[in-house]
């Protein structure tokens, strides 16, 4: 990790444009990645790196900051599991309700890349339920956004 990426990660509120959007997306990915990790250091972030390069195509620093924030959130979730899963779900739900445009950050094609078959059945079920929650949150917010557009006509 370069010095600039580290500085942007640490001082993201000051230096990153739309940092809340990036953090929201990072929280979503951390939520779906955490069940497949034994510890934050043992996570395979290869798929995350590929996904980050798709999302933030030409912005290497934003990709790096995104990956670092996901790693931070994964570590927090694993440190406080299982209660932290509930807290993360509540936080995501609250953020989507407060800012419907965040729901557009929920891309199920990206999310589904992280669903694993090589983990325990319990963790597979947890991942699947989290993915279903994210999909429903995205759909619900999209319905509300579309309803608001039609009312304004």
Q: Measure the CA angle with vertex 86, ends 146 and 76; round to 5°.
A: 110
Q: Is the pTM of this model over 0.85?
A: no
Q: Where are the domains of the chain?
A: 3-151
Each residue of 72-122: pLDDT tens digit? 899 989 988 888 899 999 999 898 888 888 888 899 999 999 999 999 999
Q: Distance between CA 99 and CA 94 in Å, rounded?
A: 9
DSSP-derived secondary structure letter, 25: H
């Amino acid at each position: 990790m370069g010095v600039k990426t580290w500085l942007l990660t640490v001082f993201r509120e000051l230096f990153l444009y739309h940092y809340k959007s990036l953090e929201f997306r990072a929280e979503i990915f951390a939520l779906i990645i955490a069940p497949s990790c034994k510890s934050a250091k043992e996570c395979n972030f290869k798929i995350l790196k590929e996904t980050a390069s798709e999302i933030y195509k030409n912005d290497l620093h934003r990709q790096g900051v995104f990956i670092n924030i996901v790693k931070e959130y994964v570590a927090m979730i694993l440190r406080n599991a299982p209660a932290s899963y509930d807290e993360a779900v509540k936080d995501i739900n609250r953020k989507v309700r407060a800012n419907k445009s965040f729901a557009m950050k929920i891309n199920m094609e990206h999310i589904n890349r992280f669903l694993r078959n090589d983990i325990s059945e319990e963790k597979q079920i947890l991942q699947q339920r989290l993915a279903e929650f994210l999909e429903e949150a995205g759909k619900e917010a999209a319905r509300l956004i579309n309803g608001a557009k039609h009312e304004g006509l």
